Amino acid sequence: MSIAMRIPAVSHAPIEREVAPEQSERKRRSRWHRLGWTGFEALGVLILLAVVALAGPELWRWGALEQHMDALLQNPSAAHPLGTDEFGRDILARLLLGARWSLAGAAVICGGTSLLGFFIAALALSGGGKTDAIIGRIIEAMMALPGLVTALAFASILGASFVNLLFALIITSWPWYARTYRALLLKERSALYVESAVAAGAGHWRVLLRHVLPNIIGPAAVLATANFGAVILNLASRTLLRGLPVADDRARPVHRRHRAVDQPVRRWPAGRGRPTHTLSTHASERRPLDATSPPG
Contacts of 127 (CB under 8 A, 6+ apart): 135
Domains parsed from the chain with CATH numbers: 102-285 (1.10.3720.10)
Query: Which segments of the chain have a pLDDT < 70?
Result: 1-40, 42-43, 239-296
pLDDT recorded at residue 36 = 54
φ/ψ bin of 129: left (φ > 0), alpha (ψ from -120 to 50), beta (otherwise): left
Q: Please give the span between the terminal C-alpha atoms of the chain, in angstroms, as a whole number.
A: 117
90 bridge partner residues: 84
DSSP SS3 for 90: strand
Dihedral pair phi/psi, residue 209, rounded to 5°: -80, -35
Whole-model pTM: value is 0.64
pLDDT recorded at residue 119 = 92
84 bridge partner residues: 90
97 in Cβ contact with 127 (< 8 Å): no
Alpha-carbon distances of 196 from 18, 187, 189, 199, 211, rounded to whole Å: 33, 16, 11, 5, 11
pLDDT recorded at residue 116 = 93
Q: Could you read off the pLDDT of 72-88 as tens digits, one per residue?
A: 887 888 888 888 888 88
Q: Please give the distance of CA 158 from its chain centroid, rounded to a whole number.
A: 23
